[in-house]
Amino acid sequence: MEIAERMVHTGPGAGADAWTGFLAAPVHGSGIGVLVLAGSSGRIEEARCRLLAREGMTALSVRWFGGPGQPPGICEVPLETFVSAAEWLRTAGARRIGVLGASKGAEAALHLAGRHDGVDAVVALSPTSVTWANVGPGRDGAALPHRSSWTWRGRPLPFVPYDDTWTAAEPEGDPVSVLGWYEQSLPAFAERVPAAAVPVGGAGTDLVLVAGGDDLMWPSLRFAAELAARRRAAGLPVRLITRPDAGHRPRLPGEGAAAPSGRFRYGGSPAADAALGADAWPHLLDALRGAGAGPVVDPSSAP
């Protein structure tokens, strides 16, 4: 499919909700719009937008921190930033709006769907079931004390702080798994977990959760199972796709392997991460296109 692409941005006066992004779309347009959100890398996901555009969707990825007028870190980021981007897609002709988010971007996607009724589908790759404290500094340049990652209508969302007594197991200078940090912080601040629960969307939102059992960044499979349980308890459909050997960075068909990191251990392997993305791909497309939500799917027994 022939696609067109360009950089887009909010106009003058956008204020704290300003963003710059990349748009890829079929040249003849589409009634399906997808907001693509990266995780804590903060990058604009151009390649992922192109992938979705070739499937007949208008895909927009925005920088949501670290840009002009934005917090330099993931600290009290206004969820209205994502509302603005979703509404931009609607004004560009999308009748159905989906959000595809990974890691911290999945956290944002779930919060957006829980607070903005204009979201029809969420695909959450390596999600969390609770809101976490900031990663990096806020607008004041300070990373401490811990604050929420997000705000809504000017108010910080309840969050789980990090237990700063945690120490990495790896030798100094080696890539680090921070999985234990998150696992240690949950019981350390157990009294804050219920209020920090991430919403799972309503009856009008299709939900697909994708998580690897070898995630070494945070326990995304545990989190995804908790999100799915909440969804089922509300009598709503959900699709959970997982593989026990995949890590934090599932790769969709057509995407290459994720770049190695000298800083973090993400778990999984290029083959397992690609296999999880391939398992999730048809469910992802169905949800974004509105092809109907099915029951929980768990292909984790696949070889």
Tell me, what's the pLDDT at 72?
Answer: 96
pLDDT number for residue 296: 38
Answer yes or no: are the C-beta atoms of 7 and 21 closer than 8 Å.
yes
DSSP state for residue 174 in the 8-state scheme: S
Mean pLDDT of the chain: 93
Give the pLDDT mean for 205-227: 98
Asked if 195 and 226 count as a contact pair (C-beta separation under 8 A), the reply is: no
pLDDT bin (cut points 50, 70, 90) of residue 291 is confident
Q: How many helices (H) and strands (E) does the chain have?
A: 6, 11
Tokens standing for 33?
């719009």
Mean pLDDT in residue range 280-291: 96
108-141 pLDDT per residue, tens = 999 999 999 999 999 999 999 999 999 999 999 9
Q: Are 166 and 247 in contact (CB under 8 A)?
A: no
Q: What is the predicted pLDDT for the residue at 145?
A: 96
Section 134-155 average pLDDT: 97
pLDDT number for residue 12: 61
What mean pLDDT is predicted for residues 206-221? 98
- 59-82: pLDDT as tens digits: 999 999 999 889 999 999 999 999
User: Strand order in 155-156's β-sheet?
Assistant: 77-78, 150-152, 155-156
CA dist 201 to 126, 181, 207, 214, Å? 17, 28, 8, 26
pLDDT computed for residue 303 by the predictor: 27
From residue 14, alpha-carbon distances to 69, 168, 265 in Å are 10, 41, 37
Q: What is the pLDDT of residue 298?
A: 40
At residue 10, the pLDDT reads 86
pLDDT on residue 170: 96
Instruction: Work out the pLDDT band at 294, boundaries 50, 70, 90.
Output: very low
Q: In the structure, what pLDDT confidence band is assigned to residue 16 with cuts at 50, 70 and 90?
A: low
Percent of the chain beyond pLDDT 70?
A: 94
Query: Can you give the pLDDT at residue 247?
Result: 98
Q: What is the pLDDT of residue 299?
A: 38
Q: Give pLDDT, residue 301.
A: 32
Cα–Cα dist 215/235, whole Å: 28
| pLDDT score at 302 | 31
Share of the chain above pLDDT 90, in %: 90
Tokens of 2: 């022939």
Pairing of β 150-152 and β 155-156: antiparallel
**pLDDT confidence tier of residue 193, bands split at 50, 70 and 90:** very high
Mean pLDDT of 74-98: 96
Confidence of residue 248 (pLDDT cuts 50, 70, 90): very high
